[in-house]
Amino acid sequence: MTGCLIALIPALALAQSDSKGDPAKTEVWAPVPAAVATPQGAAPSDAVVLFDGKDLSAWEGEEGGKPQWSVAGGAVTVVPGGKGIKTTRSFCDIQLHVEWRSPAETKGFEGQNRGNSGIFLQGLYELQVLDSYNSATYANGQAGSIYKQAIPLVNASRPPGEWQVYDVIWKAPRFSKGGGLESPARITVLHNGVLVQDDTVLSGKTEYIGAPSYFPHGCAPIGLQDHNAKVSFRNIWVREL
Ligand code: MG
């Protein structure tokens, strides 16, 4: 114990002398962060724009081929039965921005059938898209949930028919050469600017039935789900981390 105290004294003395010394000693000038332009309402200058409101050139059908969703009015909308779409490019660790809108007409649609879609990170892990405004469903399946794995911290949903925003930080899972899990996937999500997933650890790929588990894989496309609801998307961009 005495030894510890004695060891602390020189550090304390140094801190005191530094506070009266040269402030430049604690200034770090390199590396200089790269400049990124952040125009209002548009993607940052270093982002990969996945959908700018005009065309689906960055996308294909979930089973390949031309994506069957409709593009109009600066948005792309699910064509129920047209199957999901996925990016032509693969991604691992990313920052992702997606704006989405569930249909204004909700009559006859409840729970999981109300404005359901989803964002599939690496094609396997679903961040749920759903109209959860005054609409009950299981909590780990509502908007902002990691489907059947993680309940959002709060329900930040806007009314159906209004545009909503997800900002996502995604850390891909890592696997050893032998295929074992080295580190699980992690996700942080802001829903309309509100934190709903805080560095959440995933237990594996999304499962509708049963417990999630991992299998080894690499970088993969981002998918958007067709769940028989006319959900629209716009202003989709990604930054590779
Ligand atoms: Mg879904």
pLDDT tens profile 84-128: 999 999 999 999 999 999 999 999 999 999 999 999 999 999 999
Under DSSP, the state recorded for 157 is P
Q: 87: CA distance to ligand 1 center in Å?
A: 17
Using CA atoms, how far residue 139 sits from 44, 54, 142, 193, 215, in Å, is 33, 35, 5, 20, 26
Residue 28 maps to a domain = no
Residue 18 maps to a domain = no
Structure tokens at 78: 């699910």
Q: 126: CA distance to ligand 1 center in Å?
A: 7
Q: How many Cβ atoms are within 10 Å of 42's Cβ, its own excluded? A: 13
Residue 44 maps to a domain = no
Q: 19: CA distance to ligand 1 center in Å?
A: 55
Structure tokens at 92: 């691992």
Residue 14 maps to a domain = no
Residue 17 maps to a domain = no
**Helix (H), strand (E) at residue 7:** helix 2-19
| Low-confidence residues in the chain, pLDDT < 50 | 1-6, 8, 13
Per-residue pLDDT, 4: 47
The total number of structural domains in the chain stands at 1
Per-residue pLDDT, 18: 56
Residue 209 maps to a domain = yes
The C-alpha atoms of residue 114 and residue 116 are separated, in whole angstroms, by 6
Instruction: Enumerate helices (H) and strands (E) in the chain, giving the number of each.
Output: 1, 15
Q: 24: CA distance to ligand 1 center in Å?
A: 53
Residue 224 maps to a domain = yes
Residue 162: domain span: 60-240
The pTM (predicted TM-score) of the whole model is 0.91
Q: 20: CA distance to ligand 1 center in Å?
A: 59
Calculate what percentage of the chain has a pLDDT beyond 90.
Answer: 91
Q: Which residue in 144, 120, 150, 146 sits closest to 132, CA to CA? A: 144
Question: Residue 236 pairs with which residues in a beta bridge?
Answer: 51
The C-alpha atoms of residue 158 and residue 155 are separated, in whole angstroms, by 9
Residue 90 maps to a domain = yes
Q: 100: CA distance to ligand 1 center in Å?
A: 13
Q: What's the CATH number where 132 sits?
A: 2.60.120.560
